[in-house]
Structures are given as structure tokens and as C-alpha cells.
Amino acid sequence: MSSLQLDDFSDLIERPDAGVRRDAEARRERQTVPAGALGRLDELGEWLAAAQAAVPVRPVERPKAVLFAGDHGVAGLGVSARPAGTAAELVREILEGAQPVSVLARRLGVPVRVVDMALDCDPGSLPEDVVRHRVRRGSGRIDIEDALTAEEAEAAFRAGMAVADEEADSGTDLVVLGDVSVGGTTAAGVLVAALCGTDASVVTGRGGVAIDDLAWMRKCAAIRDALRRARPVLGDQLQLLATVGGADLAAITGFLLQSAVRKLPVLLDGVVVAACALVAQRVAFRAPDWWLAAHVSGEPGQAKALDRMALEPLLDHGVRVGEGAGGLLALPLVQAAAALAAELPETPAKTEEPQEAAAE
């Protein structure tokens, strides 16, 4: 019997402080640059002020990229441009500094944390701090079997919560959240289609490394078959993640919800994170108020999920690579919004000139 009560998140998660946001808006109206002249940067600065409960807003000085990693059994159907079971290679390249997220993180001075939840490799081949939360080796083939057992789904969800607590306790002030997976976008498509009540073709994209037409058709068929298995468990979000998600997706969902509990702002990267955010929204409807959509990934499932949550992406540069790269590209925009909101001077208050003494 599970002791994890997802309904508790609805009570634990509060919205960012509306009173502080009004104060931030009022302060913005007093600044020398006319309100609205900075476009969406004004909105971002006010959102950050409310999330921090601080006016003027504090600079974002300790961001971190957190990437949850896992392999998915459905990749064995040829739905990905990468061979099944090779996500560990991506993880090693990230740790060695050879992936786009690594380059961007170095340039921006942002630490990258990779959390192995279900990589299909010997755990001894990766650093201990990467593998210590692992739940299993790979996830089940979701078109014909469950991704996880109920116990594994809960363990992964709790691991995500624990990572969120670790980041909040260590002073991280904003998280760029991403995934490192092979087959993950297929699982994400199933979750989005199930929660949005649509069919497979609407959410099936071509992945970070674009697949050809035959692979797209295989992917669409896999999502269709997994969707049949997902619909009967839509009322139980943890069971949904166990049935058609995966350990990395369950952990991301737990991370998102616990981050909202801890009032830790999160930048959402691609379709996998967006799908998990949609699951988390089903658990606690106020949770999306703590998240920003970093960029348009080109995946139709991401667009569907973000639209359902009313989250508008900050950037649209056609970046499809995943692994948090698009999230890091959006980070300087958020930091710029904070700096402008805090540092632009206010218009001096007008003082009345003393009336001249009446002539005698």
C-alpha cells in the first residue's frame, strides 16, 4: 500500500505572491523606461518578484541545470534516431563537456546535474552521484507492458522530490529542467495524448534527431498502442506514469511538484518535461504558476501540453537537441529581466515649488 498521497500537493502548493506581484507592477510603472517598452521582459521580472516574494526582484545568481536520464524499452521498436539503450552515451558526453548543454553551461557558468533513473548500463560505469537515485535498468516497452511496477513508480517519483529538496536546500534559485533519454519522446507523446484526449498522430513528432517517415509511422503506432493502455488509468496519475511513462518521467513529475511546494522556479525544456508538467498539473492545478516554458522544441506534443497549461515559450529558435540546451538558451533572458526590474531607476517624485512671498 502506497503512503504517497498525491492529493496533498494541492494543499501544499500556493500560488506566487499576488500582492508582491502588484507591488512589482507598481514599481515598474515608476521606472524611467515607460511600462511596456521592454515587452515580455516586464512580465518576466514581475513573475520572478512574485516567485521570490521580493521587490525589487533579486538577481538569479545560482541557477542549475538538472537532467533526469533513462532508457525506454519502446526505443527497441525503432522509434528513435538513436539505438535503443544508448542514453548512457549521451550522459557520458554531457559529463565530459561534449554536448550542447555542456558548452552552454560552461559559457553561462551554470552547474549541470545529471540524475540516472533508468539508464540501460552498468551503474559502475558512471559516477556515484549520478547513479545513486537509479530505480531500475531501462523501462518496460509501453506498447505491450508497463514501464514500471507501482513500487518503482513511487520510488522514482520520490527520488524526483528528493532532488528538488536537495536543490532548494543548497540555495539553487532557478532550475533549468531537462531529460536525457532514448525513447522518451514516445512516452511523452502517450502522456500528452492521454491527458489532452487526442489521438497519436496529433502528438507524434520526429524527436531531437529527426527520424525518417518509416520511423515516424512506427512511433505513431507505438503511441497508439500505448494510448490504449493509458486510458483506463487516467484517474491515477502515479499509475499512469507506471503504465506508460518511465522512471525518468516519474522523477521529473515528482521534481516539478516538490519544486512548486518549495517555491523554486523552473524553466521547462522540451516535450518530455512538458508532458510531465501536464501530469503534475493534473495533480495540483496551481503548480504551473511556478514554471516557465523555455522554448519551442518543434515537437507537436510539447505545443499541445504548453497550450493546455497556458504557458507561452520564451524563445523559438528551432532548437531540437533536447537535454536542457533550449532551457539554458532562455536563462539569460530571465536573468536580464531580473536585472532590468531591479536596477532601472525610478522617476524622481515631483515636489511642489514653494510659492513666492506676496509682494508688500
List the catalytic residues. 323
- Residue that the C-alpha cell 545568481 belongs to: 61
> Across the chain, where does the E strand assignment appear?
63-71, 112-118, 174-182, 266-268, 291-293
**What span, in angstroms and rounded, lies between the C-alpha atoms of 110 and 210?**
28
Q: Which grid cell is 115?
A: 540524475
| Cβ contacts of 136 within 8 Å, gap of 6 or more | 118, 148, 152, 247
What three-state secondary structure class fits 72? strand
| Cβ contacts of 226 within 8 Å, gap of 6 or more | 74, 142, 143, 186, 187, 190, 244
CB 267 within 8 A of CB 53: no
**What span, in angstroms and rounded, lies between the C-alpha atoms of 103 and 95?**
11
Q: Which grid cell is 22?
A: 502588484
Neighbours of 176 (CB within 10 A): 31
Backbone φ, ψ for residue 206 (5° rounding):
-110, 5
**What span, in angstroms and rounded, lies between the C-alpha atoms of 246 and 40?**
35
- Is beta strand 174-182 parallel, antiparallel or unpaired with respect to 63-71? parallel
**What span, in angstroms and rounded, lies between the C-alpha atoms of 14 and 77?**
42
Q: Which grid cell is 295?
A: 522554448
